[in-house]
Amino acid sequence: MRGVHQRRVPWVFLSCLCSCLLWPEVLGVPLFPYGPQAGDWQFVRRTVDFTSPLFKPQIGFPLGSSLRDCLYFTDNGQIIFPESEYQIFSYSNPPLRGFTGQDPVALVAPFWDDADFSRQGTTFYQEYETLYDEYNQLVWEVEYWIKMLTNTWNYKARWTLKVTWVHAPAYPAQKTLRTNTYQAILSTDGSRSYALFLYQSGGMQWDVTQHLGNPVVMGFSSGDGYFKNSQLTLQPVWEKYRPDQFLDPTSGLRGLQIYKLHKEDKPNYRLWCLRWLKRQSHWSGWGWNQVSCPCSWQQGLWDLRFQPINIGWWGIVNRQLCSFSSWRGSVCCSYGPWGELLEGWRLQSPWQFDQELEPQNWCCRFNDKPSFCALYELMRPRIGCSGYQPPRPAWMFGDPHITTLDGANYTFNGLGDFLLVRAQDRNSSFQLQGRTAQTLSARATNFIAFAAEYSSSSLDPITVQWLLEPNDTIQVLLNNQTVTFETNHAGAEGQEMFNTSGVIMIRNGSTVSASFDGAVTISVIALAQILHASCGLPKEYQNHTEGLMGFWNGNPDDDFRMPNGSTLSPRSSEETLFQYGMTWEINGTSLLGKRNDHVSYNFTPVFLSQLRGNKSLNKSLTSRCNGDEQCIYDALATENANLGEHTMRLFRSYQQMNATLNQYPPSIKGPDVVKTYMGQASLVNYTSSSENVTFTLRHNCTDFKLSENGTLLWTPQSLKPCPLEILARSAKDDLSSVLKPRMVVCTCQAESQCLYNQNDRVGNSSLEMAGCKCDGNTFGRYCNHSKDPCDEPCFPNVKCISGKGCEACPTTLTGDGRHCAPLNSFFNCWNKTCPENYCYNQGRCYISQSLTCEPACTCPPAFMEDSRCFLAGKNFTPTILPELPPRLIQLLLSEKENASQADVNATVAYRLGNLDVRAFLRNRQVERVELPAIPASGNFLQYWKVISEFQYRPGGPVIDFLNTRLLDAVVEAFLSQASQRRWKRSEEPRNNVVFQPISRRDVLSVMAVNVSTLKNYFQCNGYKDYNLVFSPERGFTCVSPCSRGYCENGGQCQHLPEGPQCSCVPFSIYTPWGQRCEHLSMKLGAFFGILFGALGALLLMGVALFVFLHFRYFSGTHYSGLKAEALPH
């Protein structure tokens, strides 16, 4: 069913898409379904201000850089995140300049302005919790919008809140009939968070004139410096109050705003913990018979059910011992520097360290809420050592000397294959067999092979054989197959390990040990060409054993029980005990198979009494035995003093192992939770049942004082974390224990306000801070603020007097100083309505709120700022046809992290979605391809073919980028990759896969669309005769012919409903005419006037010339006559 759901397209998106395609104007995005029919809760108070109940998401809500614990909404169009649940205010008045980053209150504001529900209106809300992938149609649609608008394709909502303000009236309610209807959606996946603001188309009708001095604020502020104001913030106040008409230039949607509320992507350990707990619910009975931890590191090293494991890469720098069992579960134990047990935890399967340590970190170590750790410990109870019981050991060493499970010692030198022990309980069975051979020429034998078989209800039979080889080496077979050991990096230097289902084997030099399903252990050592062994059995086998290792019931007197049920006394002679041992010889085929050597069936060994009575033996052979009978026997029987000494040392080593296994560190008794009030001293006594114990603190903390006898004095002076670890050390055996009490300090204003059962962890320490329950006159996280009327801002420019409240409203307004509204004379237009069909071309009418209450129009984008949306001419962005082909590229990528398909998809989407130009749509195909395996730094590369889609948009930079610069930008995006830290497994695909650097040949262009082809997919719907014009700078634009010189010869262009029209304006002697004023006509009156005027001018110029020439001639003749008269004759 989930797959079907994921293929559905949200109804909101379909309705918006249909509107865009079938209607020339982009209509508003509709609200999500709300009200009782949608399952919403209704909440309203008939008062001027009210606040909703608190919402407390289990996973918190990321806002800015913080994870908020609670939130509420108000009648004034805000969703507020208070510091504490006692800091609840309605905050009627928004800041004059919007959000600035210095805002003291964390809030999300879809429409923050002073509302008044005292007479009408209501709110609806619904909380959606989808922590465990529950399907909800609305949540899925919200996810779809977020993915589409933010390119966050791996987003999966875990908590969603829908709040709808329906017919919200402005203050004062009795003076207005105009209301607002809008909606806010908060959504988070635990690490990221988003807000969707939706405004009902035509439903935002508040009277703008009532709010000129207190403009609305939309956006959010995190309270820690991260904020964003709506794009309407800088628009005229008339547009601010009509967000339903705002067309987002980025998304192309009207009436929808989206905000990213998180500053950075942080892990949400609360969510990861809860999802892990959900998966564990069916394991509630798991681990009913769980093994406890050894009480000290020294004790655990001898318990071969536990192996040293190195998990330091998880940040755990201590030493760990782990035991693995298929039917009891597995256990890991951590120890401190003095061998003290720190903690133990369970594992579901042997090698799932990360799967088990991760949830422990999520729920406890990294989680600030101790309640999550308590839930974790219900599912995985803490493992201590109170129920620890060491395995019961038995030994077989030398020319065989045997120490039974009850501690009886005897020597048995039988020759053949023998049953050492057979045991069983209700869940498992085990048997150990040994094969002996004659020790050189001596009348004694020694073990040359062992074979063990283990089976349980959850495991098939497992058989392991230890076979003695030359040079004190051991061949190991598992189910008749030779075992190949590998270096064990977790153990001691030179140690090798082999592990498989049901058995773990470790080889260290000439010693090979095996642990069968965390229950039975065997350690075999080759020394002096003899095999020596120790075996440890769990307590479940008590009273259910037989064989040479005796009947284990805690009483050594009945250890020598024969197959027929009769019992020999432990004080029987050597000869009698030899006969007892021979009764456990295996008749038929043993686990070791058929022998290759000849065995004398009448072999009789030499006994110690005979050796002591033989005077011919060199008594100096026993000089180093110090009275040890096993050493004496082996030295005399083989006439080899070194062999006797080896036997003695092995026996002492086994005795030391048994002693250490049964040594326990001192106990610590005292409270595991210490509570106190800040600045007050708390005295606690810790004691131990052991003697000569000294108490110390591991860390030097100034607030703690601990005496050597265990008296703790805690006087907290600050919230600086300092771990409290109380060490108890025994002077007798130098073993230590540790107790780490929880510390809870209360910092409330008064001690009576402390809630010690509602704590928050301080950092990652063991220090916890108690919650506070404020009384009616205090608020704040610590109840350290006294309530004052000035806690909420007054109306802008109104002062507040502490203890009294707001002063009077400005002179032109009326109210109580916090709520102010225009005087009655300003409400003349409150009952006016628009004339029918007043606005043309789908324009929307509203009353302008001027003194004359005239109607005005809000026009579609193509129209000029005229009064009734009649005259077009403005440029606008064209409509995109749904058939627009995408830009396709193919990437060939390689990585060596063994990433999943989802990880590759998320990483590529993240990188392509963050290119300089945001045009990435989705990855159409992500598939792994098989190429020749090429090792990269020791790892083999994994190759991927990815086909990615990009979306063309009308903008010129987008088209140019996709067609000319995309391929180079992709190469650059995959070149600069920082090496990642070791990533931790989470529920969501990761987006930080490190790919190998790529080159230009790894990025192929699959499909690109040139400009001439793109032109067919953009249309200028909305007005007749608009032209689609392309320019590299602006891209495709719908342009009116009027702006492109449609009218010639100075004609004036108007774009009317029937198309562009030209008004021809005469100039000079011409009269333009024609549809586009393309023709010119000359005026006749003007022509003749110019003609006769020109002729008159020419006549005047001729008369003037005649006069000038005539005057000049006359003047020249008169001068010549005077000159002639003057000459002498």
Quick check: is 290 in a domain? Answer: yes
SS3 502: coil
What is residue 313's predicted lDDT score, i.e. its pLDDT?
43
What count of other Cβ atoms lies within 10 Å of the Cβ of residue 412? 21
Q: Average model confidence (pLDDT) for the chain?
A: 85
What is residue 711's predicted lDDT score, i.e. its pLDDT?
93
Reference 491, options 513, 467, 464, 466; nearest CA is 513
Query: Within the chain, which residues score under 50 in pLDDT?
Result: 1-9, 11, 13-14, 17-24, 283-288, 313-315, 825-827, 936-937, 979-986, 1118-1129
Domain tally, the chain: 7
Same domain, 200 and 295: no
Q: What is the CATH number of the domain that holds 915?
A: 3.30.70
Quick check: is 835 in a domain? Answer: no
Q: What is the CATH number of the domain that holds 504?
A: 3.40.1000.10
Residue 273 Cα distances to 155, 280, 346, angstroms:
19, 11, 16
273 neighbors 367 (Cβ within 8 angstroms) = yes
Burial 1059-1084 (b: 16+ CB within 10 A, else e): ebbbebeeeeebbbbeebbeebeeee
77 neighbors 112 (Cβ within 8 angstroms) = yes
131 neighbors 274 (Cβ within 8 angstroms) = yes
CA distance 301 to 729: 19
What is residue 861's predicted lDDT score, i.e. its pLDDT?
67
Which range marks the domain in which residue 125 is found? 2-266
813 neighbors 822 (Cβ within 8 angstroms) = yes
Say if residue 172 is preceded by a cis peptide, omega within 30 of 0: yes
Same domain, 462 and 567: yes
Same domain, 51 and 160: yes
- The CA dihedral of 901, 904, 905, 906, to the nearest 10 degrees, is 120
Quick check: is 663 in a domain? Answer: no
pLDDT tens figures, 886-937: 999 999 999 988 889 989 998 998 889 888 888 898 899 999 998 765 554 4
Return the residue matching tokens 């069968």: 516
Single residue among 312, 347, 379 that ends a domain in this structure: 379
Quick check: is 757 in a domain? Answer: yes
- Helices 353-360 and 269-280, packing angle to 10 deg: 120
Quick check: is 1043 in a domain? Answer: yes
Same domain, 288 and 311: yes
- Give, in degrees to the nearest 5, the angle at Cα 913 between 911 and 917: 115
Single residue among 379, 405, 428 that ends a domain in this structure: 379
Same domain, 434 and 325: no
CA distance 787 to 712: 39
CA distance 388 to 662: 10
CA distance 451 to 590: 9
Same domain, 113 and 165: yes
Burial 714-751 (b: 16+ CB within 10 A, else e): bebeeeeebebbbbbbbeebebbbbbebbbbbbbbbbe
Reference 197, options 213, 186, 210; nearest CA is 186
DSSP string, 284-314: TTTTTTPPPPPSBHHHHHH-TT-EEE--GGG
Return the residue matching tokens 């209360």: 746
Reference 669, options 707, 695, 692; nearest CA is 695
Q: Which amino acid is at 858?
A: T
Residue 81 Cα distances to 69, 92, 161, 701, 791, angstroms:
8, 16, 13, 35, 16
Same domain, 688 and 818: no
Same domain, 973 and 1038: no
Single residue among 1062, 1082, 1102 that ends a domain in this structure: 1082
Same domain, 180 and 225: yes
Same domain, 287 and 154: no
What count of other Cβ atoms lies within 10 Å of the Cβ of residue 602? 5
What is residue 701's predicted lDDT score, i.e. its pLDDT?
85
SS3 1103: helix
CA distance 335 to 317: 10
CA distance 1066 to 1051: 9
418 neighbors 411 (Cβ within 8 angstroms) = no
Q: What is the DSSP letter of 340?
A: B
SS3 979: coil
Same domain, 56 and 181: yes
CA distance 555 to 421: 17
The full length of the chain comes to: 1129
Residue 861 Cα distances to 22, 200, 402, 876, 974, angstroms:
17, 19, 100, 6, 41
SS3 1087: helix
User: Element (H or E) spanning 450, and its range?
Assistant: strand 445-456
Q: What is the CATH number of the domain that holds 1040?
A: 2.10.25
Quick check: is 919 in a domain? Answer: yes
Q: What is the DSSP letter of 362?
A: I
Same domain, 182 and 213: yes
What is residue 980's predicted lDDT score, i.e. its pLDDT?
46
Reference 534, options 694, 652, 679; nearest CA is 652
Quick check: is 750 in a domain? Answer: yes
- Helices 269-280 and 370-379, packing angle to 10 deg: 20
Which residues are paired to 496 by β-bridges?
Answer: 487, 507
520 neighbors 464 (Cβ within 8 angstroms) = no
pTM of structure: 0.67
Token digits of residue 918? 């945001």
Quick check: is 628 in a domain? Answer: no
